[in-house]
Amino acid sequence: MKLIIIGAVAGGTSAGAKARRGDESLEITLYEKDADISYAACGIPYYIGGITDDIEDLIPRTPDDFKSKYNIDVLIKHEVIKINPEDKTITVKNLIKNEIFEDHYDKLVVATGAFSFVPDIQGVDLPHVFNIRTADDAKALTIFLKKEHPKKAAIIGTGFIGLEMLENLKALDIDVTIIDNDDKLTPHLDQEMADLLYEKLKHKAIFMKMEATTKRITKTQIFFDNGESLKTDLVILAVGIRPNTRLAKAAGILLGGTKAIKVNDKMQTNVEDIYACGDCIETYSLITRKPIYMPLGTTANKTGRIVGDIITGGDISYRGNLKTSIFKIFEYTVAMSGLSMKEATEAGYDVLKIRHTARNKPKYIGGEKMHIFALADKKSNRLLGVQIIGQEGVDKRIDLYVVLMTYGISFKEFFHIDLAYAPPFSNVRDAIHYTGMILEGELKKNDETK
């Protein structure tokens, strides 16, 4: 049997590796239009900031590695330009030789990923304007920084990549302004947590221009729709990504309501013997069971593994996700999982909302406050969503909350969880315990007022 995979980053390479482990007799070919495969896109801001000075650190595997370890042929600089489901072929363009040929498959995996959204702004094609998505993007920006030595940068967009780039450009002694047409930072944070992050960044003497719509970019300035302007010699576009579905749509593969490829829990599309995984597909919420588009490296790897398992006779099913995310901005860690307040109310939950602070360990041993925002369902007492901003211990707590949400454990049980305690690591009553106790107290107040 011949397996062809279109795309060789997180989803595609995971699918290929798992398929090989499941069936040594498979003939597996991966086609990738770019020069690099399996690169760590999430690490790009840290390469730009000089934390790692070798781009190869972000590219842990090469086509030769895949051939020697998995007996998988990875053809880079080969763009699949058409899928022909009727005769189970694909049309491929060799970008090096400028030649076109066809290849046949028995099973096909679409792992075409996503692309940076480029807003309709005059000047986005200027040489000092960059997207941050691929290894090539990282290389191009690094060359520009070394050659032009920009002093002022503007980042349009305040999602994860935008704020990570903020920190890493500041590390290069570049003055940075972040710009967003929304009234709050980070689309996935609720307003009060976004406001808290805003205040903390203000203390860093960072200029944040909110509710500002960029109309035009020139070599030295950005112009806004209200007539104001900003001087800059570097612009980073960080306004999100979109699923790369052109090939799939042209082949008759159905897209979901999110405009990403629609798959079932086995990663099967509506077309026989064609699967999809990674950033080009829509998944669904573990809580609401409704379709969502939340492209994350963790999800891409997981869905790729499921594809490889199913194709070789396995039975893993996708169970949904919580959109769990975390990023670092200076000394702060920002993490979130589950539903926002808006999402929870729109889904019809009777929401219990709390916000509290808890130290990651005792103050006398250097403990720092974590600001915790939690949502729960009054009826089932299940946790619906959590957002945390703090300096230490945030990663540990968000992962614990994720486990509690994943398995639907009532917040009334949080107090009874036997967590590890010693002063260098935690308080005798952890943030997890307090969240459960405070939610239980709020629920009791609500019951008493009825």
Catalytic positions: 42
Residue 155 per-residue DSSP state: E
Nearest Cα to Cα of residue 334 among 133, 176, 194, 169: 194
Q: What angle do CA 433, 434, 438 make, to 5 degrees?
A: 125
Angle of the 297-311 helix axis to the 10-22 helix axis, nearest 10: 30
Instruction: State how far the alpha carbon of 428 is from the alpha carbons of 97, 280, 359, 389, in Å.
Output: 65, 44, 11, 21
Residue 10 main-chain phi, psi, to 5 deg: -65, -55
Helices (H) and strands (E) in the chain, counts: 11, 25
Residue 404 main-chain phi, psi, to 5 deg: -65, -40
Q: Please enumerate in sequence order all residues whose Cβ is within 8 A of that of 276, keeping only pairs 6 or more positions apart, or say none.
A: 109, 110, 111, 248, 253, 261, 263, 267, 269, 307
Q: Which helix (H) or strand (E) holds 72?
A: none
Nearest Cα to Cα of residue 243 among 269, 276, 275, 282: 282
> Distance between alpha carbon 83 and the CA centroid of its chain, in Å?
27
Provide the CB-side half-sphere exposure for 75 (13 A, CA): 17
Nearest Cα to Cα of residue 444 among 413, 412, 417: 412
Please name the amino acid found at residue 35: A
Distance, in Å, from the CA atom of 292 to the CA atom of 295, rounded to the nearest integer, reads 9
Q: Write 46-53 long-range contacts (CB < 8 A, 24+).
A: 46/164, 46/168, 47/138, 47/142, 48/132, 48/138, 48/141, 48/142, 48/145, 48/165, 48/168, 48/169, 48/172, 49/167, 49/168, 49/169, 49/171, 49/172, 50/168, 50/171, 50/172, 51/168
Distance, in Å, from the CA atom of 85 to the CA atom of 87, rounded to the nearest integer, reads 6
Residue 168 token pair: 């890493």
Distance, in Å, from the CA atom of 388 to the CA atom of 405, rounded to the nearest integer, reads 15
Distance, in Å, from the CA atom of 176 to the CA atom of 170, rounded to the nearest integer, reads 7
Helices (H), 318-419: 341-346, 394-406
